[in-house]
Amino acid sequence: MKRRELIKGLAAGSVVGLAACKGNRTAAGPAAPAAAARREWKMYTTWPKNFPGLGTGANRVAELITKMSGGRLTVTVYGAGERVPALEVFDAVAQGSAQMGHSGSYYWKGKAESSPFFCSIPFGLTAEEMNGWLYFGGGLELWRELYAGFNLVPFPAGNSGTQMGGWFRKEINSLADLRGLKMRIPGLGGEVLARLGVTTVNIPGGELFTALSSGTIDATEWVGPYNDLAFGLYKAAKFYYYPGWHEPGSTLECIVNKPAYEALEPDLQAIVAAACDAVTTTMQAEMTARNQAALQELVGKHGVKLLPFPAEVLQALMKTSEEVVAASAGKDTFTQRVYASYKAYRDTVIENSRIGTQAFLNARSAR
């Protein structure tokens, strides 16, 4: 009994102590703490509203922030074109017309040469390797330094995993078959194909089906089976190539207007970061879980022809990718720093992946 009373007494004391710390006691008891400031944020995205994987990932960031903050910070998501076009998210958030955005950094190569390194570059890093560089290899610090110049704070917020090589209206049996094609492919991957005779363009995902089915483009990459099925790309092209050499593990970004972020209390800042971290995991999980079923539907139900790029094509893509990435790195001193960090990490992590994941996958696939 004595012990129970002691515990009861301690518990009561801790409550009183806590209330005393807050002050403003009245005769009726401790006053409620002052109402916390409530904020309503907008999130603009590059994806159609609720688009599988990418849009749903953006939704999860918003929902997590809203719930974890107990409604002190509520985030409303807008799909591409609802408030601003898909590829104007960066400028809109930088200027503060929305406090937050969800997109991919390689869309902003025209603004910052180094930006693709924070999303994906040809023959670069897988999702796991990319997370290692960003979180523990110095990548995120460099990304923050770059975006500070644009009035933005970036967070990794999702990863597509290794993408597919893309949809082609005709079969690709040699390098010669690539020449003269018009293909939608953003980032450095587009520059690689341009050197191999492809005319490359970048158009938002929501416009891909129309462009491909009307013949405005002959080929397009988008993401992977789950996302590509959702756009119905199989109705416009039948040849579906792998692997996604150009995007081995694309990090999606959540960008926050810098003054808006800095005005948050420290716990809300931590909540924003934690929500983005969570979605880095769950988006990749969603892609992994859904891609296989989508691929079966594409091949089994819609008659899609699934093909690997010929060895000759992949070898040329790799050699040209090295040239293009090195040329990009030479364009300005900041990109040189990013490239040096990325390359040093990639050179070492490749060996670890070779004897770890790669050796295991080879063993598991052996028949």
Site of interaction with Ca ion (CB under 5 A): 163, 221, 247
Q: Is the peptide bond preceding residue 33 cis, with omega within 30 degrees of 0?
A: no
With the CA atoms of 195, 199, 203 and 209 taken in that order, what torsion angle do they form, in degrees rounded to the nearest 10?
-120
Nearest residue (CB) to Ca ion, 79 versus 187: 187
Closest approach of Ca ion to the CB of residue 247, in Å: 5
In DSSP notation, 39-65 reads EEEEEEESS-TT-TTHHHHHHHHHHHH
Least Cβ distance, residue 280 to Ca ion (angstroms): 17
Under 8 Å between Cβ of 104 and 303: no
> Smallest distance from the beta carbon of 244 to Ca ion, in angstroms?
7
Least separation in angstroms between CB 160 and Ca ion: 7
- Classify residue 308 as left (phi > 0), alpha (psi -120 to 50) or beta: beta
Of 247 and 253, CB closest to Ca ion: 247
Q: Which is nearer to Ca ion, 124 or 137 (CB)?
A: 124
In the complex, least distance from residue 101 CB atom to Ca ion, rounded to whole angstroms: 18
Least distance (Å) between residue 292 CB and Ca ion: 18
Q: Which is nearer to Ca ion, 113 or 221 (CB)?
A: 221
DSSP label at residue 37: P
- When the beta carbons of 69 and 163 are compared against Ca ion, the nearer one is 163
Smallest gap from Cβ 190 to Ca ion, in A, equals 10
Quickly list H helices, the chain.
Answer: 2-22, 54-68, 89-95, 127-136, 139-148, 175-178, 187-195, 208-213, 225-230, 258-262, 266-296, 311-329, 333-353, 359-365
Nearer to Ca ion, 144 or 169 (CB): 169
- Residue for token pair 């999860």: 60
Positive or negative: CA dihedral 78, 80, 84, 88: positive
Close Cβ partners of 227 (under 8 Å, ≥ 6 residues apart)? 51, 52, 53, 54, 160, 205, 287
Using the minimum distance from each CB to Ca ion, give the nearer residue, 101 or 186: 186
State the minimum distance, in angstroms, from the CB of residue 189 to Ca ion: 8
Q: Residue 252: name the closest of 82, 43, 40, 66 by CA.
A: 43
CB 306 within 8 A of CB 85: no
User: Residue 168: in which H helix or E strand, if any?
Assistant: strand 166-168
For Ca ion, the closer of residues 129 and 221 by Cβ is 221
